[in-house]
């Protein structure tokens, strides 16, 4: 007689001279088998294909003790739902596929894309590239979710193209190109490590023509206002350093590593050992830029570094903080949409990087009629030719005027958006 299989019912079952089956009254095909040796095994018995023409199959869920009655019941429900699906799913075939996947991962865990991506960032990117966090972000956001458990040798050229198509549709050609760049680097790096691996990539797979691959992303006024507003939800010192980067037009690594003793009389002096050109770079600070430093509050008392959470080292959490900032940007943009459009797929703001703020600052200075040679000196770019060789004037006043105009431009566009 069938009855609902519960822990108390299963505990009370006694063995006989041969296997005894007790069937569940609620889930068709769910049973527990008691052997003469007192083992109790949960089963799911079914026909596949469905109907009398199908063969009777026994799907072993597990032995009582290694699985609970509730766990066995849940497994039986999943198996029953699979059979009722259209088309029906064979529980034993699904189990066999899972076992093969698990066995493949057990035999070669170090060859999974997820493991290789992690090692690639640790052993290669961190040692050779200052932008390793951006590489890690791209891999973790686009590559690992798609292929993480797959063996790297199983990835085909067609699958790479399919993934790039999906990324291009959701985030744009620039992001797809950035993803391809990291895939290529990772595959080439791994090919050096394992002679059995051959990269499936070939030339011509990029979603951006070679002439257009040089990055030219700047934020328009609406995007800049949205970023500034979204930064209100960011924590200190990420909020302050990002705004400071826009208002000074400097590089992220140089600002993040800024020390307290580099600031005096509204001037930031970056020493040559910390600057890309290996020369001293002087940055006059506008009142708006100084306000970001003041906004740090007690963080300024932590130690020698200005933008820090610990005091003994520069702020390093750009990857996670930027990801949270992007989430807040999406929240703001979706809230502005009509209710019927808020479930639109894909990001509403095209992919952008912190470094794009430097290019945006240059654009705003040009818009404010700052001379190109002065804005180039603000950015710290090398001046080539005769002028670069013989002109040793520091242009301090001109740079101060340029950065004040930049600050006024930023303040003006924020005021237009009613968010200052």
- Span 216-252, pLDDT tens digits: 789 999 999 999 999 999 999 999 999 999 999 999 9
- Integer Cα distance of 281 and 260 in angstroms: 16
Q: How many CA atoms lie within 13 A of 244 on its CB side?
A: 27
Q: What confidence score (pLDDT) does residue 392 get?
A: 47
Which domains does the chain show, CATH number per domain? 7-106 (3.30.160.390), 111-212 (1.10.150.130), 221-416 (1.10.443.10)
**Residues near 29 by beta carbon (within 8 Å), at least 6 away in sequence:** 44, 45, 46, 76, 79, 80
Neighbours of 154 (CB within 10 A): 12
Terminal CA-CA length for the chain: 75
> Dihedrals φ, ψ of 242, to 5°?
-65, -45
DSSP code for 369: T
Stretches in the chain below the pLDDT threshold 70: 1, 99, 101-110, 129-131, 208-215, 383-393, 417-420
Element (H, E) at 58: strand 55-63
Do 258 and 289 contact (CB within 8 A), yes or no?
no
Q: Which of 295, 291, 269, 272 is nearest to 282 (CA)?
A: 269
**Residues near 97 by beta carbon (within 8 Å), at least 6 away in sequence:** none
> Dihedrals φ, ψ of 309, to 5°?
-110, -15
Q: How many CA atoms lie within 13 A of 367 on its CB side?
A: 15
Q: What confidence score (pLDDT) does residue 176 get?
A: 87
Query: Angle at Cα 237 formed by Cα 397 and Cα 122, nearest 5°?
Result: 105
Q: What confidence score (pLDDT) does residue 127 get?
A: 73
Query: Count of residues for the chain?
Result: 420
Beta bridge partner(s), residue 40: 34
Element (H, E) at 292: helix 287-294
Q: What confidence score (pLDDT) does residue 232 get?
A: 96
Do 365 and 402 contact (CB within 8 A), yes or no?
yes
Do 86 and 152 contact (CB within 8 A), yes or no?
no
- Integer Cα distance of 42 and 7 in angstroms: 12
Q: Which of 210, 191, 208, 192 is nearest to 200 (CA)?
A: 191
DSSP code for 303: S
Q: What confidence score (pLDDT) does residue 343 get?
A: 80
Q: How far is CA 35 from CA 13, 18, 22, 38, in A?
A: 10, 6, 12, 5
Element (H, E) at 278: none
Taking the alpha carbons of 129, 131, 133, 134 in that order, is the dihedral positive or negative? negative
């Amino acid at each position: 007689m069938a009855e609902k299989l519960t822990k108390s019912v299963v505990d009370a079952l006694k063995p006989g001279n041969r296997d005894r089956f007790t069937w569940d009254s609620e889930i068709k095909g769910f049973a527990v088998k008691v052997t003469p040796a007192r083992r109790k095994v949960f089963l799911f018995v079914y026909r596949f294909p469905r109907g009398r023409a199908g063969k009777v199959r026994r799907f072993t869920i597990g032995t009582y003790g290694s699985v609970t009655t509730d766990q066995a019941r849940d497994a039986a429900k999943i198996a029953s739902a699979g059979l009722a699906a259209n088309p029906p799913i064979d529980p034993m075939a699904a189990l066999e596929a899972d076992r093969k996947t698990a066995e493949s991962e057990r035999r070669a865990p170090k060859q999974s894309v997820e493991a290789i991506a992690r090692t690639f960032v640790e052993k290669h990117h961190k040692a050779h590239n200052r932008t390793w966090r951006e590489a890690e972000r791209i891999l973790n956001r686009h590559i690992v979710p798609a292929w993480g458990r797959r063996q790297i040798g199983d990835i085909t050229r067609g699958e790479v193209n399919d993934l790039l198509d999906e990324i291009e549709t959701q985030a744009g050609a620039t992001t797809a190109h950035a993803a391809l760049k990291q895939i290529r680097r990772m595959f080439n790096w791994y090919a050096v490590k394992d002679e059995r691996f051959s990269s499936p990539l070939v030339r011509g797979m990029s979603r951006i023509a070679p002439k257009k691959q040089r990055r030219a992303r700047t934020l328009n006024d609406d995007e800049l206002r949205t970023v500034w507003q979204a930064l209100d939800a960011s924590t200190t010192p990420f909020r302050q350093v990002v705004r400071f980067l826009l208002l000074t037009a400097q590089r992220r690594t140089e600002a993040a590593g800024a020390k307290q003793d580099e600031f005096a009389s509204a001037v930031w002096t970056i020493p040559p050992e910390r600057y890309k050109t290996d020369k001293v770079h002087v940055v006059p600070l506008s009142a708006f830029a100084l306000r970001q430093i003041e906004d740090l509050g007690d963080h300024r008392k932590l130690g020698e570094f200005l933008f820090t959470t610990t005091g003994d080292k520069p702020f390093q959490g750009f990857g996670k903080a930027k990801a949270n900032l992007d989430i807040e940007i999406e929240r703001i943009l979706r809230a502005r949409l009509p209710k019927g459009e808020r479930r639109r797929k894909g990001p509403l703001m095209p992919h952008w990087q912190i470094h794009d703020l430097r290019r945006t600052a240059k654009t705003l200075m040009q818009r404010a009629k700052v001379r190109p040679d002065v804005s180039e000196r603000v950015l710290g770019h090398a001046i080539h030719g005769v002028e670069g060789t013989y002109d040793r004037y520091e242009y301090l006043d001109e740079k101060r005027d340029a950065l004040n105009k930049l600050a006024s431009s930023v303040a003006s566009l924020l005021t237009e958006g009613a968010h200052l």
